[in-house]
Structure 1
Amino acid sequence: MLDRYTEMKQWRKNKMETVSANPFTLNEWHDEIIRITVKRALDQVQSERGAPPAPFVFFLMGSGGRFEQGIWSDQDHGLIFHGGPHCQDYFLTLGKEIAVGLDLVGYELCDGNVMASNPMWCQSIHGWKQQISDWLTEASWTSLRYFSTFFDSRGLIGDNRFLHDLKDHSFSMIHDHPELFLRFIDNVDLIKKGIGVFGQFLPEFRGEQSGQINIKQTTFFPYVNALRLLALKEKIYVPSTLSRFQKIKHLYPYIHSFEPYFIQLLYFRLHFQQNARSYQQVHFISLDDLSKKDKKELKWLMRKGHDLFSETKKIIEDGCSRW
């Protein structure tokens, strides 16, 4: 099985150059690689422990869940199974095999352990509902981060109805407790600034990334966080930022007008990821690599993202004042 994962890594490396210029083609390729790897992991576990003891769904979260992965990506995934607690050991074994397989193929292990090998992210439907309830009841910075990570999810293999059921449960809880919307805003409101008051870039000033801009935190997050907030408000199940833009098109025409900027950002980010050699490098852009035109474009995309988030924040706060 190790050889099969190694073959997958080489296949991924060989094909990457042909798909890396287009963010949508690239993410379809990521899906294909991950799907094949997970199926091979399942074959391995079935050869040792037999067929799965219950129906399940394997799902992606984070950038993978949103169909927004770059050239390099780490792992964010989970498992939901329709069975009792006695099934968890089997699915944890599967989760560990998936994590090992994806790591060998070229997707780094998640630093935060947001993987199906972790019992927190590998549970029965009942266990998941209880955990979501606990996260939203506690409503701490950490618990809402966990929930937001889960909410940006989509099934890749298995029964997608399980994930839909959990999002139903989430929407029910949130709309019964509208004060949670303000907590969600607080959770994502501290956006790292990329531009100073005089219009100058604010790059990292220490360590290996000195002189570089963290495009993920300064530019990408405002778009992603804004559309997630509206998805929670409007009970939108789809996880990708572009799909969320489409769903709110008629509800919030002004918000929808920011969609072209996000598409522009996807291509801009991907263009400057081409020379990245690791997941650690992929979120940073050196100012030395940017032409005058590039810098102007990046500042524009940053400002539009912050405008979008500010407008979204007003919508959520105005709605809360009426509830």
Structure 2
Amino acid sequence: MFTTYEEIRAWREDTIRSVAEDPLQLNAFHDQLIYQTVQLAKGKVEREQGEVPAPFAFFLMGSAGRYEQSFWSDQDHGLLFEGDHQAYFLKMGEEISDGLAVVGYAYCEGNVMASNPLWCQSVDSFSNQVERWLMEPEWSSLRNFSIFFDSRVLVGEKQFLVHVKEKVFSYLNENTGLYARLVDNVQMIKKGVGIFGQLLPEQKGEHEGDINIKQTAYFPYVNALRMLALLRGVDDSSTLSRMAAMKERYPTVGSFEKDFLGLLELRLRYQVQSDSYEGVHLLPVKQLSKGDKQQLKEAIKQGHKLFSTMKSIMKKEGVL
């Protein structure tokens, strides 16, 4: 269909605004953009390096893994494969990363990309790496684990990722003390609403007057549902899918769905005006309508409430 990354970028520029106000349509379009880019990169590497030497899985993480990308997004992805073929797949990972950059996805500042050997490994090697992340005391190791867990396969062998996650669930069941460390790792939540019910934007610097919707409103939902998914052995990666999976066992969790959906839609309404990934998570408080301010405040409050609900559930289940 496409012969160059520039053609895919042109398709993006021509089409994305037509789907930008619906989170599901927008993320389906992102998937198509990334899928076409991966296919183009795979073909280029095969012409230069020979046929793909083993079955593989290209997987998405971060907001892409959760099916929660906004208008602009950076890259978070990896490659799993069978056997000892890292050199080949690193070439593929580099080509995919460069291709996505051309299409309009910023390189990940944290280097969470298939061009990084840490995120381009055999299934067995990566499974062992994930277990080490859980055992290691460093904050960065637990952060890497959390990034990984919000993952789904876009191209290739879905069972590769299922295999790694099943090992994670088994390991956590045998080491329930790890839940406390995982919760503590995401405990810090940036305050977004003051004691008088006012929004709390940045007070100085280049982002003065802006509120970081990702840190203040979005993360509490994401982190709470990730923890519950780990607890219940749910391998779905999206926050909404995880929420749906919890409804029967923990009915109160389902009551937060409306606020989270509203938050996603509010985010898109303002981000569609952005012209690059930089600052895409910042909302200028003065530009928000009265109704949007109220909605954002409620979403922030409910996110904090959901996070507390998650901790209460985990205490009742005896893992905190």
CA–CA separation in structure 2 for the residues paired with 1:245 and 1:293: 26
Tell whether 2:146 aligns with 1:185.
Answer: no
Structure 1 length as normaliser, TM-score? 0.96
Kindly provide the CA deviation profile for residues 116-168 of structure 1, in whole angstroms up to 9, marking residues without a partner as x. 00000000011101101110111431111100100000000000000000000
Relative to structure 2, which stretch is displaced further, 106-115 or 285-294?
285-294
TM-superposed deviation, 1:293: 1.5
TM-superposed deviation, 1:321: 5.4
**Number of residues of Structure 1 aligned to a counterpart in Structure 2:** 319
TM-superposed deviation, 1:33: 0.3
Tell whether 2:194 aligns with 1:216.
Answer: no
2:56 paired residue number: 56
Match 2:254 to one of 250, 253, 256? 256
* 8 Å CA contact retained: 2:8, 2:103: yes
* 8 Å CA contact retained: 2:180, 2:319: no
CA–CA separation in structure 2 for the residues paired with 1:195 and 1:261: 16
2:263 paired residue number: 265
Report sequence identity in percent: 50
* 8 Å CA contact retained: 1:179, 1:320: no
Structure 2 length as normaliser, TM-score? 0.97
1:10 paired residue number: 10
* 8 Å CA contact retained: 2:151, 2:237: yes
TM-superposed deviation, 1:3: 7.4
3-state SS of paired residue (2:79): strand
CA–CA separation in structure 2 for the residues paired with 1:3 and 1:56: 23
2:70 paired residue number: 70
2:131 paired residue number: 133
| 5+ residue gaps, structure 1 | none
State the superposition RMSD in angstroms. Answer: 1.3
| 5+ residue gaps, structure 2 | none
Tell whether 2:79 aligns with 1:79.
Answer: yes
TM-superposed deviation, 1:318: 3.0
Tell whether 2:163 aligns with 1:162.
Answer: no
Distance change in 2, residues 1:232/1:139 (3 Å): farther
Distance change in 2, residues 1:15/1:141 (3 Å): same
* 8 Å CA contact retained: 2:176, 2:319: no
3-state SS of paired residue (1:107): coil
* 8 Å CA contact retained: 2:81, 2:123: yes
